[in-house]
Chains A and B, each alone.
Chain A
Amino acid sequence: MKWTIEVGRYDRTAGDGRGEVRSYPPPYENAPQRRYQTFEVDLPDHAMVLDALIAIREYQDESLVVRCACRSAICGSCGMWINGAARLACITKLREVARDGKVTVEAPPSMPVVRDLVWDMTPFWQKNRAVLPWLENKEPVPQGEEYRVPNAAMENLIQEVSCISCGVCVMDCESFAVNPDFLGPAALAKAYRYVADPRDAKTHERLGRYSQPNGVWDCTHCYECVAKCPKGVAPMEQILKIRKLAVEAGYRNNSGTRHAVAFAESVAHSGRLNELTLMPKSFGLFNIRAQLQSLPAAFNMLRAGKLPPLLHPKVPHVERIKAIFKKVGGMFSS
């Protein structure tokens, strides 16, 4: 079968006349331009995107730079943008992504690029290091035998230990796209791995550390990393687990916790969300700066006639809802 592969190339000669030069729209407007070259390859119906890239490098243009090793989603080398979405080239079939036989590949615009399809993983590893990804042994360390832990405790970690550090989740993380300081899905999923490991002695400190700015509360809950991760790590789910554990451990002096508490109080009280009190309560009533910052928007909405009703009536038979809260426990039970 014939396939058309459009490759976004980046090197010092980008814009030298070979191929069409394009830049990125927001939020990637600062990413360097790529020049897009088109190649035709003849490959069977079941071929992967990586097969096409290797075929191009071997038989058409040996200057094409692509990073790969295992070809089976184990080494985590070939993460890239395929038709504008983060994927591993080695397990993405041409036929599942091709539009009219055409596939576009490029280094993700959210990451610094080394050359062509190879992006710089330095920020990725920096973030991994920042979560202190090693065990702080609980004392006493068993002598002459292994640390024994219950099976169930390890089963809880299976999702995270499947991570191959490919960076696919990070390159399409929404929060990271506009805030490069965000620790990001892969590192925070890794963080959960140590939080939940019964052998670790620093669980409490870790929870505090990860609750700081650019940590778990900077995840926007968009499911993008869950959808994109090729190994089922579901980083967002691990982030939410850390949030819950951190709140339970008493790290509550943050707007994330206040927001959750105010939300639950409102629903428990009236059955519905009271938008009018949710925002101010989330900021903390004495956080004057945040309160002031949110005022112009509130004023704009008031002027447009969009402010929630001042009276927040309870839904009829709210006692049913209250009974559920009572039985299942309010916010921080279970």
Chain B
Amino acid sequence: MKVAFWPGCVSKGACPELYVAMQKIAPVLGLELMELYEAPCTGAGVLSEQNPELAYSLNALTLAMAEQMGADLMTICSTCQGVLSGAQYHLTRDEALRERVNRTLADSGFQYRGTARVKHLLWLLVEDVGLDRVAGLVKRRLSGLRVAPFYGCYILRPEEHLGLREKPERATYLEKIIELVGATPVEYHGKSKCCGFPMLTFNREVSLKMAGKHLLEAKSKGADVLVTPCPLCHLNLDGQQPDAARVVKEPIGTPIFHLPQLLGLAFGFEPAELRLNHHVVNTRLALEKVELKV
């Protein structure tokens, strides 16, 4: 299956391990990634806040690029997914907006038509590749590993942009994947809450408190590791975890896997191939539970 692949700025920046892990698992899943090298940043909700039309236009360009490739667009970042889904939601419903945006794009040689779907890897796995097929690819069952899903915000809210009204089960896909790789999902309140990243620069203390508290909750429920579909959540939960631990005044030490890393382990890749040795929070203890070494 060919997909127009939008890696997002973070997997190309501060979370290179996500990009690497995605490249590893794609051929196993039979996904041919046609990367959108020429597409702009989605604006991550920051641009749309001050100038929505700017964000709609930039994202219409990205969507149009996928359309030209004749493929659906796949993201590996909840924030990108949220912004692209939101743009598409408005562009399909508001004809005047669509016309204005297409006038803006006229010189670029691209026009937005709305023919490509936008799907996060998580949705694609369940809805297009199929859980049975993914299950058949598992070579190493991660039995005994207790994995807490961390959805965060933008892959769940707002529901109407993200198709959760039609498909409420999208809020349970992470658990399905965790079970499928042989691990045990950990249930906890914070799984669909905010990691705090969007306000890291506005109010560092509050942002890190959010991250720290969710981590402590997951840990108290016995999680060995968290898995997230969003690299921005990863930045706060992993990258900032030592600082978050200082803010909540308790040690944490719970590693965070990106979704493709969890799958990669189950598909038989070695931790280092998935750059699990390049996290801020050491992944060693969690990996030892499934008899792996970094």
Contacts and interface: CB of A to CB of B under 8 A. Distances in A.
A278 B17 CA distance: 21
A174 B210 CA distance: 8
A320 B64 CA distance: 13
Contacts of A240: 49
Q: What is the size category of the interface that chain A forms with chain B?
A: 35 or more
Given A25-B220, A220-B194, A327-B104, A267 B202 contact: no
B242 A300 contact: yes
A213 interface: yes
Contacts of A282: 201
A247 B239 contact: no
A244 to B, nearest CB: 6
A230 to B, nearest CB: 14
Interface stretch (A134-142, A143-151, A154-162, A258-266): A258-266
A300 B13 contact: no
A205 B279 CA distance: 46
Contact of A325 (B16, B50, B54): B54
Given A178-B210, A324-B61, A227 B203 contact: no
Interface stretch (B23-31, B34-42, B123-131): B34-42
Interface stretch (A68-76, A196-204, A269-277): A269-277
B210 A267 contact: no
Interface string A293-334: 110110011011111110000011100110111011111111
B105 A324 contact: yes
B193 A174 contact: yes
A283 B204 CA distance: 10
Contacts of B199: 175, 217-221
A290 interface: yes
B108 A273 contact: no
A20 B10 CA distance: 46
Contact of B157 (A222, A247, A301): A222
Nearest to B207: A220
Interface in B186-200: 188-190, 193-194, 196, 198-199
A264 B207 contact: no
Given A218-B202, A227-B159, A264-B47, A320 B108 contact: yes
Contacts of B16: 305-306
Interface in B61-87: 61
Contact of A217 (B57, B158, B203, B214): B203
Contacts of B50: 243-244, 247, 260, 264, 331-332
B210 A306 contact: no
A333 B189 contact: no
Contacts of A330: 51, 54
B39 A315 contact: yes
B84 to A, nearest CB: 15
Interface residues of B, number: 69
B153 interface: yes
B194 A224 contact: yes
A267 B280 contact: no
B38 A320 contact: yes
B221 A220 contact: no
Nearest to B10: A275
A17 interface: no
Contacts of A254: 202
B280 A306 contact: yes
Contacts of B163: none
Contact of A324 (B104, B210, B240): B104
A279 B199 CA distance: 11
A133 interface: no
B239 A294 contact: no
A321 B198 contact: no
A187 to B, nearest CB: 17
A329 B51 contact: yes
Contacts of A220: 194, 196, 198-199, 206-207, 210
A218 B206 contact: yes
A60 interface: no
Interface in A214-257: 217-224, 226-227, 240, 243-244, 247, 254-256
Nearest to A275: B13
Given A26-B248, A323-B108, A267 B279 contact: no
Contacts of A307: 14
B209 A27 contact: yes
A272 B41 contact: yes
Contacts of B279: 304, 306
B37 to A, nearest CB: 6
Contacts of B207: 220
17 contacts: A25-B217, A25-B220, A174-B193, A179-B206, A220-B210, A223-B154, A226-B157, A256-B201, A259-B202, A271-B41, A272-B40, A273-B41, A275-B10, A315-B37, A321-B40, A327-B57, A328-B57
Interface of B: 9-10, 12-17, 37-41, 43-47, 49-54, 57-58, 61, 104-105, 107-108, 110, 153-154, 157-159, 188-190, 193-194, 196, 198-199, 201-204, 206-207, 209-210, 212-214, 216-217, 220-221, 239-240, 242-243, 248, 275, 278-280
Nearest first, the 4 closest Cβ-Cβ pairs linking A and B are A223-B157, A27-B213, A222-B194, A308-B13
